[in-house]
Chains A and B, each alone.
Chain A
Amino acid sequence: MLRWILGTRGSHGSAENRCAALCIGEEQPKNCYTELQVLRGHFDIVRFLVQIDDFRFASAGDDGMVLVWNVETGERLVELRAHTQQITALTAYTCTNSEKTLTALITASSDRVMCLWDADTGQRLRTMSNLQSSVKCVLVLDHLDVCLSGGNELCVWNRDFQLQCKTVHCRDSGITALVDLPKCYVAATIDKEIVIFKLNVSETEMSILAIRHLTDHQDTIRTLIRVNDDLFASGSHIGEVILWDTLDWTIQAYERILWEEPDREGQSEIKMGQQKRSEASIQHLHSDGERIVAAVGSGLFVYNTKMKTVVAYRKFAHDSDVLYTKLLHNGQVMSCSEDGSVRIWELQELPLPAEPASSGFFGLFSTIGRSSKHGSVQSKKLPEVSGLCSLELVGDLIGHSGAVQMFLSFGKRGVVTCSADHLLIVWKDGERESHLRSLALFLKLEEKGCL
């Protein structure tokens, strides 16, 4: 178990940290998102965004509506209305039949109804009502042509959405996350446990069976992701991150993140402990196969699964809890938070220890700490953290007036954010858009024969 003791400078230092995280200023040359488009349509908090294809995405939230948008034009393509209560899960998948390709959306809501939609036409293809509990997560297993839904019990549905089998009623807390594992295994999180289910598929029938309970987490598991073929990761409320092997479900690495307040250390242990827990809650994990980025309280850290070390971290990345984070295609990290902002971070190599710290890297150094202990800490750590980087804020996107729940990156086409202020915002590269408009203009001229 590895511990980081951060912020040895005390309260003054931490205030400075905050400042360093916040004050990027208005000059953001590396921030290419210079154009935005506000998409209105929802009446309540928008919680889910799902990419359908290269230019379409669906949004859903507490108003029970699912809207399908075109990211390029900002056009609302389809409205899916059936649910009477908030949406709890949203998944998109494409299934290729012999006749045609169906782009489908599966929605689940608190009204205990699951629906299957055609994303192209907006038609409701199937409705599963009278579920025993509301579904909190949906997983589509393409190779088996089945769909799993997790609520208080795990249900298996076939392509035509007929219930194949289900597990017994788990517990009141229910399944909150599902991950697909090799060899027809599925991992599900139920409160503090990860349960491995085996899906038996035979010609005639299917059955599902819980075969292992992993109980290494000490608190509620918040997030569960698949890292790569060999690993999957889970994060808990008190800052534990565990990497598991996908085949034998053994622990590959265990990290416990503690942001400690050194000033009050030893003074009020119990109270501190409580504070720490909420502060270090793993809100979200995302991986690009090699690195994992985790939203820890209002901070971020990046973990390298190969080196099994933390590559970079920032305790105060946002003013309040980070709700969602992602490694982008260009190596940048993006995070969104309850404070209504979206921030873009870049992983920058740290200068060699011999070099004096330039002001640009002030942020990181201050998080590590610059007290008298600082030198020794660093020299002690250096050999093992050779790949240590700093998370530098290169830009922030301000537009939402409520917590930003989630975002979706379309690469060059832009980023979509959804928020508690009922809005969706598409952030685009202004230069690119301008160029596209120019192209459209000349195309139109050409069509008219003016060229």
Chain B
Amino acid sequence: MIGSPDVVAFTKDDDYGDSYTDPCLVPEEFSVPLIPHANANPWLKTSYAKFSKDFILISEFSEQVGPQPLLTIPDDPKVCGTFDLNYFSLRIMSVDYQASFVGHPPGTSYPKLNFVEDSKVVLGDSKEGAFAYVHHLTLYDLEARGFVRPFCMAYISADERKIMQQFQLLSSGFSRASECLKSGNRKAFANELEKKLRDLEYTRSVLHKETELQKTNSGCYSTQVIEKANELANVEKSIYEHKDLLRQITSYPNSKRRDADQVQCEPEDRADTSTLDHTLSSNHSGNGDKHVEADSGNQHPSYTPQLIKAKSAKCFDKRLKTLEELCESNFFLQTMDQLNAIEKTFRGDLCFIYTSQVDRALLSKQKITSFLFESERDDEEEGSSRNFYDPTHTTHHVSSNFSGEPMNLESYTPYAERSQNKLVLETMEGPPESSTSDVTQETSEDANDTEMKGSFSSDRSIEAFINLSPANPEGFSRISTSVACTVTSSEEEGNVPSVAAAGKTPSSLEHESDLNHGEVFETGHLVQMDTACCMGQDGFIYEEPLPEPVQECCEDTVVKREPLSLLQRDPALQVDYVLGESTLTLPSPSMGLMLPELNPSSLSEEMVKMNVEDVSDNASYMSTSTSSDRAASPFTYGSPVTLKQKKKAGHSALRFIRQYPFAQQAIFCLLSGRTLVVLGADEGTVRKLVNALLIFVPNLGKYGETVQPWLSTSFQLSDLQRWKLIGLQRVVSPAGSSLLHSLSRYSRYIGILDCDNKTLRCPTYKGTLIGHMADHRTQIKRGSTYYLHVQSILTQLTAKAFLYTFCHHLHLPISTDQDANSVVQRRTNFLLQLGYTEEESKIIRFLSELIKQHYLQGPLKGVSQSYFSFSYTTSYLYKI
């Protein structure tokens, strides 16, 4: 009937190599073509499969109808094409999976829940041309046979190698998703059990009454009475059994979740179970906190216990719960999000995924410099797998839950109080470093504890958590409004110029810090997980030699060892970054900018974005025009700058350098840290130019904080400090005169690109370096190619700047008899030896300062620089 599926044993790479014949072997290629009806695109591996691209399938072994597909991700019939989902479900579900045995194990008289590990297998169906990573899991359902419902999630691809090579990543991703489903399920199951128990208790009391009644009516030994007594005994037994089940589910061993790759899930689970335990135990034992009972009572106010009939309905009559019902819908949605992320992560060719993984692994080692020009990779369109690792993404809902909690009025008060205390403490204790370093310590010690501490420090908030069931739709709306609230409040405070840190409302600050802790920790781990996975697959990434120049140019052990320590993921260094991120004195706009990460619903995300814009604008006393063009603009304030945007910007940049002969000077301005003001009357033109020049801005920031694409009022000195690229509206009205005044006043700090008159006023640049980057006769045609070209030169620059920064003898005297001048001399010579002219040295120096600052203070967000460097050089006017 069903052919046994060819289960591919997953073993280690080396073992596996024996059994696996590489399809790339030449003789194989020359043999009979595998697919007679091959498509035009030879790279399309899925051409012979019946589906167009990889997808995720969730199926169930239903006790009523057998294996059936439930849903696919993406939920698009076109994806699966003619692929027979039913058939494939049958196959994947027929793999014997150590289903958790629930029932009456021999020797015990009560049903026992088994908490089994999920099983992960790779299946292949050569006929269908489909290969799948299959993740089996069981969920508990009180009404199901043996209380279990077997499910499986499968990642189906036509490329077997993709499945095999990405097995670990797939596995950890699906484990997390499954863990999420299961924790939701446990909660739902416990709720269901409780409900059932209440029914049973009620039934028992009713039966008891009836028995008593009959006893008095018809004596003790009538058949009716005996029947009733039997029934009563059955109910008693049932109650006992259910209580036992409840005990089992609530005492779900925490140790089971200690799996290394599921760390991300833990806080959520723990929080979840702990609260669950709390509720249950208190309810169950009856001596729990009154408050809690009241809360849970509120949760089902309308519930009235029902009488349970002795015989349950036939199993085929009843409707089985859907997956969403089995897990609470919040958890279900969260899982779907995770699965969507997985799908996006593994979209595309294996080669692409692999390259981007290598890329990421390499980038992760360059934390010291990568902030300069590398874009943050959590863009969704790119399908980069950062999403997958992105802690903010996976902990998304969790954090939203947490942050949303305080808005429950009762818990809000202690929360606010506490944060106020904290604030006071900090101000009293002095420099904020002290407090943050405490945090870091905690973080490194036990992340989960921190998470818990950070989020719930008082019992009251835990109670609040119980109160707010994740399924509660109100929860979300409340959360979104609450976020908006905090933003606006901080915004109001922000009107007062000085109190950047102090003016923040305690709650918002609390949010921020809490989230920071969470995030920060996750980042630390995330990297490790990421690399661990890559390491397993390709050790070569880690054996790769250090950047050449470092070894060549620096005889000092200093620099030589510096990257090494990075390589070894020096924990201290990591902690250091952590320190920077969790700095509490973040300026208000950046706070705003961080918010989108913690927002669950798209609605509230939008709200936040809106607010973010307001905040950032307000903080600078500017009102950027809110024209409709803004939304359409590829670069908008408050949303992350993605790689895709940057590549698109590459196209405009290409046009810019072809169009303007003085493009080099403009780029020099940006690279040397001189703010470039793009002045123009037409918003579209200005925005386009700003967008084009975006790719040259060092330390752009995740949200492009250092760029102000459109400004219609005059700017201040502090704005120059914050923004390195400004689009400025040319106004003819009297208001324009103040604008021109500020332009001329600060002309020594800026370069002015006038796009109406096509002139540029800025210091001269006579080097060749930028000529390579911005040659108006360039043969490069495509924007993305040009972007990569620019990126490669910028990377070179970054490497040199790194070298310049970390070369010991360039900054410190080698021996005691050397004076400061000789060091300065050495520094200058070094740059000359690298082949940089005086102007280019300025670029290196500027980048070096950024690196120093980044290294010393950690990544600063928003109003990044505490200081503003400039130089007194003559500007010239360039014309076309």
B808 within 8 A of A: yes
A99 within 8 A of B: no
Among A26, A422, A439, which residue has its beta carbon within 8 angstroms of that of B748?
A26
Among A40, A430, A438, which residue has its beta carbon within 8 angstroms of that of B871?
A430
Chain B 791-811 interface residues, beta-carbon cutoff 8 Å to A = 805-806, 808, 811
Please measure, in the bound complex, the distance between the C-alpha atom of A29 and the C-alpha atom of B576, giving whole angstroms.
Answer: 38
Among A26, A37, A43, A441, which residue has its beta carbon within 8 angstroms of that of B866?
A37
Please measure, in the bound complex, the distance between the C-alpha atom of A428 and the C-alpha atom of B565, giving whole angstroms.
Answer: 34
A385 within 8 A of B: no
Tell whether A43 pairs with B496 under 8 Å between CB atoms, given A31-B872, A35-B869, A437-B849: yes
Measured between beta carbons, the chain A residues less than 8 angstroms from B497 are 40, 43, 422
B856 within 8 A of A: yes
Distance of B803 from chain A, by nearest CB (Å):
13
The answer on a CB contact under 8 Å between A450 and B856 is: no
A-B interface contact total, Cβ < 8 Å? 114
Among B500, B562, B868, which residue has its beta carbon within 8 angstroms of that of A445?
B562
Stretch at the interface among A48-56, A176-184, A394-402: A394-402
Chain A 406-451 interface residues, beta-carbon cutoff 8 Å to B = 422-423, 425, 428, 430, 433-435, 437-442, 444-445, 448-451
Distance of B862 from chain A, by nearest CB (Å):
14
Please measure, in the bound complex, the distance between the C-alpha atom of A29 and the C-alpha atom of B716, giving whole angstroms.
Answer: 25
Tell whether A26 pairs with B718 under 8 Å between CB atoms, given A74-B867, A437-B852: no
Measured between beta carbons, the chain B residues less than 8 angstroms from A26 are 747-748, 872-875
Measured between beta carbons, the chain B residues less than 8 angstroms from A425 are 717
A265 within 8 A of B: no
B198 within 8 A of A: no
Tell whether A35 pairs with B870 under 8 Å between CB atoms, given A398-B748, A434-B849: yes
Among B570, B849, B855, which residue has its beta carbon within 8 angstroms of that of A444?
B855
Chain B 543-585 interface residues, beta-carbon cutoff 8 Å to A = 558, 561-562, 565, 570, 572-573, 576
A41 within 8 A of B: yes
Chain B 834-872 interface residues, beta-carbon cutoff 8 Å to A = 845, 849, 852-853, 855-856, 866-872
Distance of B802 from chain A, by nearest CB (Å):
12
How many residues of chain A have a CB within 8 Å of chain B?
Answer: 42
The answer on a CB contact under 8 Å between A442 and B808 is: yes
* In the complex, residue of chain A having the shortest beta-carbon distance to the beta carbon of B572: A448
0 or 1 for each of B480-506: is its CB under 8 Å from A? (1 = yes): 000000000000000011101000000
Tell whether A34 pairs with B431 under 8 Å between CB atoms, given A398-B745, A441-B856: no
* In the complex, residue of chain A having the shortest beta-carbon distance to the beta carbon of B497: A40
Tell whether A448 pairs with B573 under 8 Å between CB atoms, given A37-B868, A43-B498: yes
The answer on a CB contact under 8 Å between A439 and B869 is: no
A42 within 8 A of B: yes
Please measure, in the bound complex, the distance between the C-alpha atom of A189 and the C-alpha atom of B845, giving whole angstroms.
Answer: 53
The answer on a CB contact under 8 Å between A445 and B558 is: yes
Tell whether A41 pairs with B498 under 8 Å between CB atoms, given A442-B808, A448-B572: yes
* In the complex, residue of chain A having the shortest beta-carbon distance to the beta carbon of B748: A26
The answer on a CB contact under 8 Å between B811 and A442 is: yes
Among A395, A400, A430, A435, which residue has its beta carbon within 8 angstroms of that of B811?
A435
Tell whether A34 pairs with B871 under 8 Å between CB atoms, given A441-B856, A450-B562: yes
Distance of A420 from chain B, by nearest CB (Å):
14
Please measure, in the bound complex, the distance between the C-alpha atom of A442 and the C-alpha atom of B431, giving whole angstroms.
Answer: 22
Among B570, B718, B721, B748, which residue has its beta carbon within 8 angstroms of that of A448?
B570
Measured between beta carbons, the chain B residues less than 8 angstroms from A74 are 866-867
Distance of B587 from chain A, by nearest CB (Å):
10
Measured between beta carbons, the chain B residues less than 8 angstroms from A423 are 717-718
The answer on a CB contact under 8 Å between A36 and B874 is: no
Measured between beta carbons, the chain B residues less than 8 angstroms from A42 are 498
Measured between beta carbons, the chain B residues less than 8 angstroms from A247 are none
Tell whether A437 pairs with B721 under 8 Å between CB atoms, given A40-B500, A398-B748: no
Distance of A41 from chain B, by nearest CB (Å):
4
A38 within 8 A of B: yes
The answer on a CB contact under 8 Å between A451 and B558 is: yes
The answer on a CB contact under 8 Å between A395 and B872 is: yes
The answer on a CB contact under 8 Å between B811 and A75 is: no
Distance of B863 from chain A, by nearest CB (Å):
10
Please measure, in the bound complex, the distance between the C-alpha atom of A99 and the C-alpha atom of B7, giving whole angstroms.
Answer: 84
A203 within 8 A of B: no
A28 within 8 A of B: yes
Among B717, B808, B869, which residue has its beta carbon within 8 angstroms of that of A399?
B717
B423 within 8 A of A: no
Measured between beta carbons, the chain A residues less than 8 angstroms from B806 are 441, 445
The answer on a CB contact under 8 Å between B561 and A25 is: no
Among B431, B870, B871, which residue has its beta carbon within 8 angstroms of that of A75?
B431
Q: Which of A36, A425, A438 has the most CB of B within 10 A?
A: A438
The answer on a CB contact under 8 Å between B874 and A27 is: yes
The answer on a CB contact under 8 Å between A433 and B867 is: yes
Q: Which of A35, A435, A437 has the most CB of B within 10 A?
A: A437
Please measure, in the bound complex, the distance between the C-alpha atom of A24 and the C-alpha atom of B871, giving whole angstroms.
Answer: 14
The answer on a CB contact under 8 Å between A437 and B856 is: yes
Please give me the 5 A-B residue pairs with the lowest Cβ-Cβ distance, nearest first: A28-B872, A438-B811, A41-B498, A40-B498, A448-B572
Q: Which A residues are closer than 8 A to B by beta carbons?
A: 25-29, 31, 34-38, 40-43, 74-75, 395, 398-401, 422-423, 425, 428, 430, 433-435, 437-442, 444-445, 448-451
Q: Which B residues are closer than 8 A to A by beta carbons?
A: 431, 496-498, 500, 558, 561-562, 565, 570, 572-573, 576, 716-718, 721, 742, 745-748, 805-806, 808, 811-812, 820, 845, 849, 852-853, 855-856, 866-875
Besides A444-B856, A451-B558, A451-B561, 12 other A-B contacts (C-beta < 8 A): A27-B874, A34-B871, A35-B870, A37-B866, A38-B717, A401-B717, A401-B745, A423-B717, A425-B717, A434-B852, A449-B572, A450-B558
